[in-house]
Amino acid sequence: MREKKRIPNFFSYRDCDDFANYLNRQAKKGWHFREFRLGLVFEKGEPRDTFYRVEVFPKGSEDDLKGNRDTEEYADYCREAGWKFVDSVRKFCVFERIRADAVPIVTDEERLENVKKAERVILKRLWFLWCIIAFRDFLEWFTPLGNHFPAYTYFNPLSFLSLMLVTVIGLEALLKTVYQMVWEAGHRKKLQSGEGLVLGGKGGRILLYLQYVVLFLILCMIAWPLVRVDTSLDGTETALLWGVLAMVAVFYTAAAVLAWLRPADGLFAQLAATPIIFIAVLVVGVFVMLFTWDGTYPEKMSDPDLLPLTQADYSEPEGEVTDADYEMMGNVLGSLEHGEITYTSDTENTLEYDIYRSDISRILDRIQEDEKSRYWWQYRQESDLWDAEEEVAAPEEDGSGVHYVARYDDALLVLYVTEPLSGEQAQKIRQTLDLGVD
């Protein structure tokens, strides 16, 4: 059995001539290209100077894992012109010159047009993928939910992670699009000036490397919250991320298996395998999520001593605690703490609050305006109750409680109490929560 080696294919359609030169250099070392199968497969033999030609087959498809009937007809045509067909994948076709008087397979103008169309198909798919992923994020981040803005979006770690993924993929798509436009214009200008077409250069391969770097970054961004000791993810969110990683692994494993088997009709094989792959991805993802779930939902604390603020911090509540919930989330943009606690005797004494903290003032401004708009018809300005930059209050119409909004330099307090607060009580709350305290 002859010795073989496999090398990743880092050539784009814009690098056909560089690709052919690379195959020629390998042949001079005794490594002769044999096929595409999870990369470039070379077989050890006698060193010889083999002239290769790599073309973009216009009738090929990005989903082709192996040559089809159209490819065979194209190969017969090229053999008459002095070129032996070696192998093909996607729209790549590799030929070996078998006659010294072999004529070019296509003209320079046709080659440029074939490459342009092939690269544009890749760009269209990338932008289509980005639009699908970005649609949800744009709804979540930039569209009000009903008449109000979902403030938790800013501080939810998974929402922020999703936005970063969309941003990275969008920047990649934009960079590739701009480069393709510049590349097409430059090479068309060279042809018009009488220069020959040379398909190569570092730009195309750099963008291809960038694609793998982006994939690596995406995986790191998903995995990073899982390995952080101080992560604010709860058990459900942690299990969800592990499930996503498992589904990505299953998807790429399935793609690798198809690339290894190389069915003649790649698109048909992929479509036929889609239900199986989907079920496998779903089953593995759900299994991993259940296996990694620690049985907890978003952190809710029933022990009032664990809440950062209770009625006991600023008054002497009567009765017993009948309800106490606490939730905290955060990311690089800031943090959000939500607490609720109710004392019940003859009446209910309820305290509910949201504490937003961020060094980005525009985020706090946006949340503040939204909170104020909820009770704009009842709001009145308060003077120095909270010792804040701006503070407003809104009593319930039926007198069942009062809503307060107090803005500080790096924090925003949104608070509801059953009874109006005095200045002394407000100051105790402010000190307990470390709001505006030097």
Domain count across the chain:
3
* Residue 267: per-residue pLDDT: 47
- Residue 297 located in a structural domain: no
Those residues whose C-beta lies under 8 Å from the C-beta of residue 215, and which sit 6 or more positions away, are none
Same-domain status, 114 and 96: no
Higher pLDDT: 150 or 286? It is 150
Domain end (from 106, 128, 151)? 106
Choice among 123-127, 171-175, 298-302, 428-432 with the minimum mean pLDDT: 298-302
Token pair recorded at residue 420:
């109006």
Same-domain status, 277 and 358: no
* Residue 282: per-residue pLDDT: 55
Tokens 């399935």 correspond to what residue?
254
Neighbours of 413 (CB within 10 A): 25
* Residue 15: per-residue pLDDT: 92
Same-domain status, 181 and 261: yes
Give the domain CATH number at 335: 3.40.1000
First CA to last CA distance, the chain: 78
- Residue 226 located in a structural domain: yes
> Rounded to an integer, what distance in angstroms lies between the CA atom of residue 138 and that of residue 163?
9
Reported as a single tens digit per residue, the pLDDT across 369-426 is 888 777 655 666 665 788 888 888 877 777 678 888 899 999 999 999 998 888 899 9
CB 395 within 8 A of CB 401: yes
For 121, what's the count of Cα atoms within 13 Å in the CB-facing half-sphere?
A: 16
Same-domain status, 250 and 363: no
Q: Pairing mode, if any, of strands 334-344 and 411-417?
A: unpaired
Q: How far is CA 89 from the centre of its chain?
A: 28
pLDDT band at 20 (very low <50, low <70, confident <90, very high): very high
Tokens 């639009």 correspond to what residue?
131
Same-domain status, 224 and 332: no
According to DSSP, the residues that pair with 380 across neighbouring strands are 393
pLDDT band at 298 (very low <50, low <70, confident <90, very high): very low
- Residue 298 located in a structural domain: no
Reported as a single tens digit per residue, the pLDDT across 44-59 is 999 999 999 999 999 8
Reported as a single tens digit per residue, the pLDDT across 189-218 is 999 998 888 898 776 667 667 777 777 766
Question: What is the domain range of residue 190?
Answer: 110-292
Predicted confidence (pLDDT) at residue 109 exceeds the cutoff of 90? yes
Those residues whose C-beta lies under 8 Å from the C-beta of residue 269, and which sit 6 or more positions away, are 65, 258, 261, 263
Same-domain status, 208 and 340: no
Token pair recorded at residue 392:
């407003």
Average of per-residue pLDDT across 343-368 = 90
Same-domain status, 67 and 171: no
State the Cα torsion 186-192-198-200 to the nearest 10°.
10
